[in-house]
Chains A and B, each alone.
Chain A
């Protein structure tokens, strides 16, 4: 290998699918790379042109479009494109354009074909469903809210506007009164010059400049100017503004590019507000946080129930603004946990301190940090072994009832399976809980486990955390050595299967039946969470979140390489589809549910959903094979 190509080879070797290639193949690529520079806005691939090279982005950013011109994908450093065409007829199907100054490495077709032939992982990467699922999932991540939210959303009030003849002192007073930090300087004018607008009395004004807090320091005090000087003589006439429909991101770039902290927002020519850099920063960080602090400020269960609309609003915003399912899931779970904790605090305040220590345990999606907006409550009480039912149970029943009723009022409906601390069976001391879990794992049948698999997602949210940790340890230690238990769990995990896919307006089932809607939780996310849970149990993982479990699983030999990534992308996509449809339900003032109607599914989503169902279906087949029921095992 020539050392001079080390640079290229090392760089490419960091990114999939090149990261798994042998040194020899990497050399073969670096050896033959051709390079070209593309200025922002220039075409890299033009529809229907002949393509004989794979494109690798060395630096910059590229947008890939569908034939009709809609955005298909946005790619950055280390990404590849053009492989679809190379695998088909060498005609460009997805045109590509540089959206930043971009340097492309072109890999000749014969090298590309050699890579596909000699390296299966490379071939999988470029051929199989993974890119589509991945790009869909990535796209959701990348198009973050700053790109799509318009700056006008951040404008909360009219700007302070002062005439050029106003004295500096008066301007300072007006800015202080308005609790603002800048004023826009205007002057009467005639005609229609730039930045001119008419007020309600038909008078034409022109925006002359902006004067900020720091200008008072640099232009007034530091210069020794009199407070009686007219602002028009001092204000900077160098005006940088932004249109109200520009994105928050563009506003931020404008500020950075021009090194200004205040930006007048104009609608057409009229100033409608001023945004400050801190508004943008606050916007980026706030959302869920306010809600959580608000939860802890409520002094009654009724007060908490009033926050339910805020939860929905936060949810809609997050989905709309491109958060991924992990962000939404953990934000909603954090909110749910906060409600529960606050209810427990309020309950203890009303009932007095607990007679014996306890731990409030959550199960199911809240334990996995994967809540959506449509969710019921799954919880239980793990009590200290000092618990004496006759003396103490009345207290804990009251506590459980208070929390459960409170949660129901806040939108977390009662559990239909009665997995709630109000159920005596699930309000027991630690020693009893240990017995439950041992019994489930030692004497498993699919029927017995049918309703208890939910307990294998468990987390403490209040009180003696170590009670639940003890149970988690017990499971992690025992489950990998319990093939019968895993087989029974696997059997149950196959009860719910994905459909084949969609055709126009109906769901195609495997038996050829058509349905008009599909429950995406029952047919997608839940079976996926179920099957991941089984692999996680088999691998002794203590993680509860599906993505974290997949991560743990990928560190073992349980699944073939790359499978856990594939599952992860598919899960992300299924979750996001579900969340997006719930968001649409809320926006259209329907009660959000887990159903999606095929006619509301866009083409691209339909294809990707089909891919995701296929991944799930394959994984279920493997599950049956990997954890067989002993009776099906051939006798030796």
Chain B
């Protein structure tokens, strides 16, 4: 399906240890600062975790062949999504933008032509992500793309724990006994795409595919997921991966 490959799982990694090790090893000051900023401990109740929703638009689905076009971030907590603190960047992809991705993202050639390279915004992006738990919908785009893009520019990558609203949704709709039974019956699997997932929680449909709007939509979805299936004191480790 559109060339999405399963990736090796990094779940259950000891994130604190990983971050500490990286802090010792990295040379780039911005990346070091990022790893030096402590994340909430794994048993922190989710209601006390500062989070940041992240979404990026890319020219395709493979980080080795495609590039990032735009990035949107919105900081939030279980109580509030703070739009005033949002950021959105359009960046110049290192690889040419195809016409299909133009129509898909509503970002035009001229906008992209005028955009800076990711490198110029990277320090600010990492600075804003530091200390926050990043929340995405489908981590297998955001995580490898960011890692590859940073590696290409600074010689070293970034990996960090994330909460993936799509995999939370998959746990509920793809991995339960009931879901397997449905599959056995030959029923189509429940869609766990962003808009379909939101609809199940009574969240409004946004005119998608804008990185910031999708980041906001993801933050709302996560609030709804916790309100419905978890509790404010659910520890972080039950949710991240």
Contact = CB atoms under 8 A, between A and B. Distances in A.
Interface stretch (B31-39, B126-134, B136-144, B197-205): B197-205
Interface string A305-334: 000000000000000000000000000000
Contacts of A179: none
B227 A4 contact: no
Contact of A2 (B82, B88, B206, B228): B88
Given A7-B213, A37-B220, A38-B227, A31 B203 contact: no
B81 A36 contact: yes
Contacts of A100: 202
Contacts of B80: 34-36, 106
A103 B228 CA distance: 14
Contact of A4 (B81, B84, B86, B201): B86
How would you classify the secondary structure of chain B's contact residues: helix, strand, loop or mixed? mixed
B216 to A, nearest CB: 7
B42 to A, nearest CB: 24
A101 B199 CA distance: 11
A30 B72 CA distance: 16
B241 interface: no
B83 A32 contact: yes
Contacts of B206: 7
Contacts of B165: none
A273 interface: no
Interface string B194-233: 0000000111101100111100100110011001100000
Nearest to B216: A35
Given A4-B72, A37-B227, A103 B84 contact: no
Given A4-B210, A7-B206, A37 B224 contact: yes
Interface string A1-33: 011110110010000000000000000001111
A364 interface: no
Contacts of A58: 204
A548 interface: no
Residue with the greatest number of chain A CB neighbours at <10 A, chosen from B206, B213, B219: B213
How would you classify the secondary structure of chain A's contact residues: helix, strand, loop or mixed? mixed
Interface in B75-132: 76, 79-84, 86, 88
B81 A59 contact: no
A197 B1 CA distance: 56
A100 B202 CA distance: 8
Contacts of B82: 34
B202 A35 contact: no
Interface residues of B, number: 27
Nearest to A59: B204
A4 B203 contact: no
A595 interface: no
B220 A5 contact: no
B207 A7 contact: yes
A38 B223 CA distance: 8
Contacts of B212: 2, 4
Contacts of A8: 83
Interface string A95-120: 00000111100100000000000000
Contacts of A34: 80-84
B219 to A, nearest CB: 7
Contacts of A5: 83
B83 to A, nearest CB: 5
Residue with the greatest number of chain B CB neighbours at <10 A, chosen from A31, A36, A59, A100: A36
Contact of A33 (B83, B88, B211, B224): B83
A82 interface: no
B76 to A, nearest CB: 8
Interface of A: 2-5, 7-8, 11, 30-39, 42, 58-60, 100-103, 106
Q: Return the 4 tightest CB-CB contacts between A and B, nearest first.
A: A101-B202, A4-B212, A37-B223, A35-B81
Given A30-B83, A32-B83, A103-B204, 12 more contacts: A2-B212, A4-B86, A7-B207, A31-B83, A33-B83, A35-B81, A35-B216, A37-B223, A39-B224, A60-B202, A102-B202, A103-B202
11 contacts: A3-B210, A7-B207, A11-B204, A32-B84, A34-B83, A36-B223, A37-B201, A37-B227, A39-B224, A39-B227, A103-B220
Interface of B: 72, 76, 79-84, 86, 88, 201-204, 206-207, 210-213, 216, 219-220, 223-224, 227-228
